[in-house]
Chain A
Amino acid sequence: METKIDFTLNGQQVSVTTDPLRRLLDVIREDFGLTGTKEGCGEGECGACSVLKDGKIITTCMVPIGAVGGSDIVTIDGLKETEQGKTIIEAFADGGAVQCGFCIPGMVMAAEDLLRSNPHPSEDEIRKGISGNICRCTGYDLIVESIALASERGDGLW
């Protein structure tokens, strides 16, 4: 039973007509071809599918598209075009945070979410801020340092 759902995606007004129970993750990846948002677990545990919904970080693998009507969705594709996104991405690249890379778009989203509410977080606050994002490669230390680097370089952006 298809329903028309209107929302904002990376600043653009968009519309899909589809089964409202389809996962937001599948709609983003398949209907819009935005594959930067990844599926790591399908149960909201790993954070690889994170986007910002009305300014709050959420895991899209557990959200039905029917609940998204009227929302403002920002994916990594939108975030990477902003000054804040670029600062975080560059810091990750310089800080050695990226290994296999699969968790990283989600980590970048989590970093953005954290810095918006806390532009100069302590190490503990950074660890807490990314505690919903699982990484198997890095052991987290260099991701944490990279976020601190982004905060330093982007002083004033958040």
Chain B
Amino acid sequence: MVSTYIPKTLEEALIIRKETGARPLSGGTDLMVQYRRGIGVTPKFPWPIMIVSNLKELIGINETPDGSLCIGSATTSSEIAASPLVPWHVREASSRMGAISLRNLATIGGNIGNASPKGDLPATLILLDASVVLASVEGERTVLLDDFIYGAKKTLLQDDEIITKIIIPKPARPFTYRWYRKIGTRRANAITKLSLSAAITIDEKGVITDFRASSGAAGPKIARNKALEATLIGKNVEDIPSLLPSFLADYDKIISPHAMPEYRRTSTKRMLEYFLTEVSKRPSGEIIE
């Protein structure tokens, strides 16, 4: 008979995790659906479950002394979407996750822990070099999110660990231009078919000092390649049009959509091309639409 735990503190949760391997359930929006068994039937899990949604230590959005943002893993998507402290990309992704009811339940920790290739938050978090803090009775460790999720539904979470925080470092300078687009299966209440997050920073001389792009739902894990991004860094924004064709061809290689490959490749290319072309015109607004 599988047990269910409702720890009252994080400390208690870590002990239970160590002793029983119980899996954390926060919003339940993934787990309760994946393991559902019908009307009036209790979902059945292959492991013990530990409900962590109400643990105060896991809820909250705070700025740390060095300017990074720290989000508790049980913070809901709607809380994240509403917080002015949260970076724009993450707020955009958060506000488009599912529907209002889902956003009031779904948590950032759950979205990361589930590690679905179609999950809304990881693409923007990885764009921003976010890390996850993993706690166990032994202590804590911090792992870059891009390393933490290494495949479809595959993470580096150890059996005795719980995701407690997500740390988003502040970029050296604010982005000059930003892009986020989620293509859903319909205009609302939709699973992501494809997403593109991008950001670029340009100095007074027109030199690109920072450039990032990440694609969601375009492969088993979020696609982001820093080496490819580096090919634009240090160049002048005016050179973008001439660099674009080979950049787009190289970017195409980092995404690996299993389904609808033509759609995903074509749309990714068009969006990236549009973003970079618009940026090279130096528009006045920060958000490219």
Do A and B come together as binding partners?
A: yes
Residue A78, interface by CB 8 Å: no
Q: Are A58 and B101 in contact (CB under 8 A)?
A: yes
Q: Are B36 and A43 in contact (CB under 8 A)?
A: yes
Q: Are A66 and B4 in contact (CB under 8 A)?
A: yes
Main secondary structure of the interface of B (DSSP, over half): loop
Q: Are A131 and B28 in contact (CB under 8 A)?
A: no
State in angstroms the CA–CA spacing of A61 and B33 once bound together.
8
Interface residues of A in 53-76 (CB under 8 A from B): 53, 56-59, 61-64, 66-67, 69-70
Q: Which of A47, A53, A64, A67 contacts B99 (CB 8 A)?
A: A47
Q: Which residues of A contact B1 (CB under 8 A)?
A: 1
Q: Which of A42, A129, A133 has the most CB of B within 10 A?
A: A42
A90 to chain B, nearest CB (A): 24
Interface residues of A in 29-53 (CB under 8 A from B): 30, 39, 42-45, 47, 50, 53
Residue A22, interface by CB 8 Å: yes
Q: Which of B3, B38, B51, B189 contacts A64 (CB 8 A)?
A: B51
Contacts A128-B188, A131-B188 hold; do A58 and B104 have CB atoms under 8 A apart?
yes
Q: Which of B29, B42, B49, B51 contacts A62 (CB 8 A)?
A: B29
Q: Which residues of B contact A134 (CB under 8 A)?
A: 189
Residue A95, interface by CB 8 Å: no
Residue A132, interface by CB 8 Å: yes
Residue B271, interface by CB 8 Å: no
Contacts A39-B39, A59-B101 hold; do A21 and B33 have CB atoms under 8 A apart?
no
Q: Are B102 and A132 in contact (CB under 8 A)?
A: yes
Q: Are A21 and B29 in contact (CB under 8 A)?
A: no
Q: Which of A42, A61, A62, A63 has the most CB of B within 10 A?
A: A62
Q: Are A3 and B4 in contact (CB under 8 A)?
A: yes
Q: Are A56 and B32 in contact (CB under 8 A)?
A: no
State in angstroms the CA–CA spacing of A63 and B29 once bound together.
7
Residue A123, interface by CB 8 Å: no
Residue A26, interface by CB 8 Å: yes
Q: Which of A45, A70, A113, A128 has the most CB of B within 10 A?
A: A45
Q: Are A59 and B102 in contact (CB under 8 A)?
A: yes
Given contacts A26-B42, A67-B25, 20 further A-B contacts (CB under 8 A): A3-B4, A22-B42, A42-B38, A44-B33, A44-B99, A47-B101, A57-B101, A59-B101, A59-B105, A61-B32, A62-B32, A62-B105, A64-B4, A64-B28, A67-B51, A113-B100, A131-B100, A131-B187, A131-B189, A132-B101
State in angstroms the CA–CA spacing of A63 and B26 once bound together.
9
Q: Are B4 and A21 in contact (CB under 8 A)?
A: yes
Q: Are B99 and A132 in contact (CB under 8 A)?
A: yes
Interface residues of A in 94-148 (CB under 8 A from B): 110, 113, 128-129, 131-134
State in angstroms the CA–CA spacing of A63 and B102 once bound together.
10
State in angstroms the CA–CA spacing of A62 and B11 once bound together.
26
Q: Which residues of A contact B78 (CB under 8 A)?
A: 56
Q: Which of B39, B104, B187 has the most CB of A within 10 A?
A: B104
Q: Which of A23, A59, A69 contacts B42 (CB 8 A)?
A: A23
Of chain A, the residue at the smallest CB distance from B76 is: A56
Of chain B, the residue at the smallest CB distance from A131 is: B188
State in angstroms the CA–CA spacing of A6 and B28 once bound together.
19
Q: Are B25 and A131 in contact (CB under 8 A)?
A: no
14 intermolecular pairs with C-beta atoms under 8 Å apart: A20-B51, A21-B42, A42-B38, A45-B99, A62-B27, A62-B32, A63-B28, A67-B25, A70-B54, A110-B100, A131-B99, A131-B100, A132-B99, A132-B100
B121 to chain A, nearest CB (A): 17
Q: Are A66 and B99 in contact (CB under 8 A)?
A: no
Q: Which of B36, B99, B101 contacts A42 (CB 8 A)?
A: B36
Mask for B208-225, Cβ within 8 A of A = 1, else 0? 000000000000000000
Q: Are A63 and B32 in contact (CB under 8 A)?
A: yes
Q: Which residues of B contact A128 (CB under 8 A)?
A: 188
Q: Are A57 and B104 in contact (CB under 8 A)?
A: yes
Q: Are A129 and B100 in contact (CB under 8 A)?
A: yes
